[in-house]
Amino acid sequence: MIITRTPLRISIGGGGTDLPSYYRRFGGFVISAAINKHIYVGINETFSGGYFLKYSALEHAMTLDDIRHPLIREALRMHDIQPPIEVVSMADVPAGTGLGSSGAFTVGLLRAVHAFKRKYVDPALVAEEACKIEIEILQEPVGKQDQYIAAFGGLACFEFTEDGQVKVAPLNISNSTLYNLEERLMMFFTGYSRNASAVLDDQKVRSELGDNAMLDNLHFTKQLGQCIKLALEQGNTRRFGELMHEHWMHKKERSPGTTNEGINRWYEIGRENGAVGGKLVGAGGGGFLLFYADDRDALRRAMLNEGLREFRFKFDHEGSKLLSRD
């Protein structure tokens, strides 16, 4: 049995500029952080025919074309994995919560497939393969940050060039800044995200049509990402919290479907009770509210009074890795 472990992520700044509809014209810049909540994927050769797939559903498909799960189907097709084979996945956090689970799952599956074929794989290669499956083959309106941060781990800056190249660099912060972020970044679960694809598709279409309001907003978001990088590398974490707030205000402007009345109310309650700034992680409509808190206890009490469960995390510095290979 081959088992891989792949981290989920939070976006720190610049989110939305990693979509091809934007970066192919203007270049993109995103800061992401991998967290210690993971997706596990196992691959095993079996003794009976077909493809046995176990995720949130069960499948027994005799051919690749019969596989209903699109990411599994295309990853196995890309590497010509023949039956009999079993693929099993488990996750610390379910899909639809805005933590980049689809990208992490695809990276973890591809990492397992390479190990199954007894091949070494570079993180950049597996990230690019995952992007090819999601963006080119399946035509999903997603960006590239999820796949890359899942493959590399850590806190990283990604520059997306107009010709499709991705430049990866670590976020150059001190240990004290790292510990400050782990201590003061707090997440609370608002409910499952149900319209992330609709939000991303709207951004994709409007960007491709040259919608000035959308493009100006994304230009500003990219600049904010650079400002966040500078603030964190200078150790100014409070300024980072203020920039998070600015980022969230612009994200809501760009895509009203990102939020709803309940999320807006919880966000304001957070700001009134110890949070410097925050945002909804992921494309929107639900998932996790991420705050940078000055007063953690006050924020925790306020969110508890609203019935929102806290989701504690630390950073993951390893990226997608092989746990077991018999």
pLDDT in tens, 122-178: 999 999 999 999 999 999 988 999 999 999 999 999 999 999 999 999 999 999 999
Q: Which CATH superfamily is domain 175-311 in?
A: GHMP kinase, C-terminal domain (3.30.70.890)
Per-residue pLDDT at 181 exceeds 70: yes
CA distances in angstroms from 133 to 70, 74, 223, 232, 259, listed in the order given: 9, 7, 29, 33, 28
Domain range summary for the chain, segments of one domain joined by +: 2-172, 175-311
Per-residue pLDDT at 202 exceeds 60: yes
Per-residue pLDDT at 214 exceeds 60: yes
Confidence of residue 257 (pLDDT cuts 50, 70, 90): confident
Determine the angle formed by the axes of helices 196-208 and 212-233, rounding to 10 degrees: 110
Of 236, 253, 248, 323, nearest in space to 290 by CA = 248
- Joined tokens for residue 320: 């997608």
- Joined tokens for residue 5: 């472990």
Per-residue pLDDT at 203 exceeds 80: no
Whole-number Å distance between alpha carbons of 297 and 315: 21
Q: What is the pLDDT of residues 13-27, one digit of tens each?
A: 998 899 999 999 999
The amino acid that residue 197 corresponds to is: S
Three-state SS for 306?
coil
Q: What is the pLDDT of residues 279-322, one digit of tens each?
A: 988 766 678 999 999 999 999 999 999 999 999 999 999 999 99
The amino acid that residue 65 corresponds to is: D
Q: What is the pLDDT of residues 107-122, one digit of tens each?
A: 999 999 999 999 889 9
Please count the other Cβ atoms lying within 10 Å of the Cβ belonging to residue 64.
Answer: 16
Whole-number Å distance between alpha carbons of 33 and 147: 12
Confidence of residue 95 (pLDDT cuts 50, 70, 90): confident
The amino acid that residue 150 corresponds to is: A
Domains 2-172 and 175-311 share a fold: no
Whole-number Å distance between alpha carbons of 166 and 157: 10
Q: Are 112 and 86 in contact (CB under 8 A)?
A: no
Return the CATH number of the domain spanning residue range 2-172: 3.30.230.10
Per-residue pLDDT at 195 exceeds 80: no
CA distances in angstroms from 241 to 18, 238, 291, 301, listed in the order given: 22, 5, 8, 20
Whole-number Å distance between alpha carbons of 210 and 104: 30
- Joined tokens for residue 137: 């083959």
Share of the chain above pLDDT 90, in %: 78
Q: Are 220 and 251 in contact (CB under 8 A)?
A: no
Per-residue pLDDT at 192 exceeds 90: no
CA quadruple 264, 267, 271, 276: dihedral sign:
negative
User: Rounded to the nearest 5°, which phi and psi values hold at 76?
Assistant: -70, -35
Share of the chain above pLDDT 70, in %: 95
Q: What is the pLDDT of residues 38-93, one digit of tens each?
A: 999 999 999 888 999 999 999 999 999 999 999 999 999 999 999 999 999 999 99
Per-residue pLDDT at 230 exceeds 90: yes
pLDDT given at position 290: 96
Confidence of residue 211 (pLDDT cuts 50, 70, 90): confident
Longest dimension (CA), the chain: 60
Whole-number Å distance between alpha carbons of 40 and 6: 6
pTM above the 0.85 mark? yes
Per-residue pLDDT at 326 exceeds 70: no
